[in-house]
């Protein structure tokens, strides 16, 4: 009941990470649809764009009138420093959608981002960081905005320093590089003009403590940012 385009190259060679695109079966030639970038979890270490959770989310979005783009991105595998390349990949996905909006039948002014766990962290970073923060990639599509209109943060990490044992992507400890951990934390970038957030977090979560989301919501509340 939906269409899925698999193994789409959104990064330039020699990068091999790909994306899957989810479309409603019926699309209007005159009314473009909103789009959502889906970022998988896995502790910045592993995971796939076509894990069961991502297939479920992509299908649900397509059945409800969205175009969804589930992406692979640079992973650490417990031994590689991948920050900020992993964030750049997510931002490049937004730019790729905007660049190809006409061909894909999407509205370039209605793009959201969604992720779970480490993907929730990266989704929040995409939504919150602006060009002046120094975390936008220069290429590819450096002339295209990677701004999004909204973010769904599912049990994401708001303060990486309090999740340090899983942060092999940074290559240093919080004691060695406190500014690096601050740079990589969504809490650092909350502004009153940031896009709205939906935060989802289970109280029984044993991997990401719900206090991450409670602190995040409190920080959004402090600046008056729309969120649930």
**Chain position carrying tokens 């061909």:** 103
pLDDT attached to residue 29: 86
CB atoms closer than 10 angstroms to residue 5: 12
State the DSSP string of 111-170. EEEEEETHHHHHHHHHHH--GGGT-S-SSSSTTS----SEEEEES--S-GGGGGGG-GGG
CB atoms closer than 10 angstroms to residue 193: 7
pLDDT attached to residue 141: 96
Would you say residue 99 has pLDDT above 80? yes
Of 39-48, 121-130, 160-169, 206-215, the least confident? 160-169
**pLDDT grade for 216, boundaries at 50, 70 and 90:** very high
pLDDT attached to residue 171: 94
Paired with 153 in beta bridges are 115, 199
CB atoms closer than 10 angstroms to residue 28: 9
- Non-local (6+) Cβ contacts of 165 within 8 A are none
State the DSSP string of 40-99. --STTT---TTSHHHHHHHHHHHHTT-EEEEE-----TTT---TTHHHHHHHHHHHHHHH
The percentage of the chain sitting over the pLDDT mark of 70, rounded to a whole number, equals 100
Q: Are 18 and 10 in contact (CB under 8 A)?
A: yes
Would you say residue 33 has pLDDT above 90? yes
**pLDDT grade for 167, boundaries at 50, 70 and 90:** confident
- For 201-221, what is the mean pLDDT? 97
Would you say residue 108 has pLDDT above 90? yes
Would you say residue 165 has pLDDT above 90? no
pLDDT attached to residue 175: 93
Q: Look at residue 18 and give its three-state secondary structure.
A: strand
- Non-local (6+) Cβ contacts of 145 within 8 A are 94, 95, 98
Mean pLDDT for all residues in the chain: 97
pLDDT attached to residue 164: 83
Would you say residue 166 has pLDDT above 80? no
More confident residue, 166 or 120: 120
Q: Look at residue 190 and give its three-state secondary structure.
A: coil
**Whether the predicted model's global pTM rises above the 0.85 cut:** yes
- Non-local (6+) Cβ contacts of 110 within 8 A are 34, 35, 149
């Amino acid at each position: 009941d939906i269409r899925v385009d698999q193994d789409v190259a959104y990064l330039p060679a020699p990068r091999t990470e790909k994306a899957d695109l989810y479309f409603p079966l019926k699309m209007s030639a005159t009314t473009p649809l909103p789009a959502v970038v889906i970022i998988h979890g896995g502790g910045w270490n592993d995971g796939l764009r076509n894990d069961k959770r991502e297939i479920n989310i992509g299908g649900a979005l397509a059945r409800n009138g969205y175009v969804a783009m589930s992406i692979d991105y640079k992973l650490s595998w417990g031994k590689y420093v991948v920050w900020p390349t992993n964030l750049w990949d997510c931002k490049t996905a937004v730019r790729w959608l905007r660049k190809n909006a006409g061909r894909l039948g999407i509205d370039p002014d209605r793009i959201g981002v969604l992720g779970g766990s480490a993907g929730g962290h990266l989704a929040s970073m995409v939504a919150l960081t602006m060009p002046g923060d120094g975390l936008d990639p220069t290429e590819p599509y450096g002339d295209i905005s990677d701004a999004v209109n909204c973010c769904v943060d599912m049990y994401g990490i708001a303060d990486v320093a309090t999740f340090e044992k899983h942060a092999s992507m940074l290559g240093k400890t919080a004691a060695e590089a406190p500014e690096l951990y601050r740079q990589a934390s969504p809490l650092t970038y909350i502004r009153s003009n940031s896009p709205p957030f939906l935060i989802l977090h289970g109280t029984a979560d044993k991997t990401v403590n719900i206090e991450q989301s409670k602190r995040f919501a409190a920080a959004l509340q402090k600046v008056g940012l729309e969120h649930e």
